[in-house]
Copies of this chain bind each other. A is one copy, B any other.
Amino acid sequence: MFYFIIDILGTIAFAISGVLVAMDKKLDVFGVLIIAFVTAVGGGTLRDLLIGIKPVGWLNAPLFLLIIVVTVILTIIFVKQLKYVRKSLFLFDTIGIGLYTMVGVEKGLEAELSPIMCIALGTITACFGGVIRDILCNEIPVIFRKEIYATVCILGGVVYFIFIQFPINKTIAHSMAIATIIIMRILAVRFKISLPNIYRSSS
């Protein structure tokens, strides 16, 4: 139940980020809806395709389609008021990527893949909705350029696999990994931490 609520909050946060990018590109209502949808479900869809889960998850989750449609309508109407909830949105988004990373890791484990591939699938789940969003909007994906997003997911995955070496409850390992992702991301944004610049050093 707790996970379910996080999943909904994460979906809403992801959909809103899609709406904002799409409106910035002046897309029409249908375009905005599609971008919001792929931002919210794209990462999980790519993960399901790569593993071979059929059909992909969202085809059996009409509730999430409904949530996304309502989110899109409300966001379009209240787009000017969004700035007042900017911090909540950032928090939902961050909790969302924490949760989605763990969902991806679990799906990888179910498919009996190695830890490193599970971490890759977790990162894909959390990050590739945004990648597809940016490609559809004709932008180089933002996580390839400046956001530290993905690195944080990888770290979270590593923390999870370290913790499950010990005789502790799996839920605790989950929680520690999600907490790592949330804290690292907040610190990264707060202190403007980014990946090391490879261009100055190589020129």
Q: Which residues of chain A have a CB within 8 Å of any CB of chain B?
A: 22-23, 25-32, 34-35, 45, 49-56, 59-60, 62, 65, 76-77, 79-80, 108, 111, 113-114, 116-117, 120-121, 131, 135-141, 143-146, 150-151, 194-199, 202
Residues of B within 8 A of A135 (CB): 135-136
Q: A26-B145, A28-B197, A50-B55 are in contact. List 13 more A-B contacts (CB 8 A).
A: A28-B144, A28-B194, A29-B195, A29-B198, A30-B144, A30-B151, A31-B141, A49-B50, A51-B59, A76-B198, A79-B202, A136-B141, A136-B144
> Does A140 lie within 8 Å of B25, measured CB to CB?
yes
Residues of B within 8 A of A54 (CB): 51-52
> Does A140 lie within 8 Å of B27, measured CB to CB?
yes
Residues of B within 8 A of A25 (CB): 140
Total copies of this chain within the assembly? 3
Residues of B within 8 A of A117 (CB): 59-60, 62, 65
Report A45 CB to chain B, min CB distance, Å.
Answer: 7
Residues of B within 8 A of A151 (CB): 30
Chain A at the B interface: SS class? helix
A136-B144, A138-B140 are known contacts. Are A28 and B116 too (CB-CB below 8 A)? no
Complex CA–CA separation, A131 to B35 (angstroms): 12
Residues of B within 8 A of A56 (CB): 50, 52
Residues of B within 8 A of A23 (CB): 198-199
> Does A26 lie within 8 Å of B199, measured CB to CB?
yes
> Does B140 lie within 8 Å of A202, measured CB to CB?
no
Interface pairs (8), CB distance under 8 Å: A31-B143, A52-B52, A52-B55, A59-B113, A59-B121, A60-B117, A62-B114, A65-B117
Which of B29, B59, B141 touches A50 (beta carbons < 8 Å)?
B59
> Does A60 lie within 8 Å of B198, measured CB to CB?
no
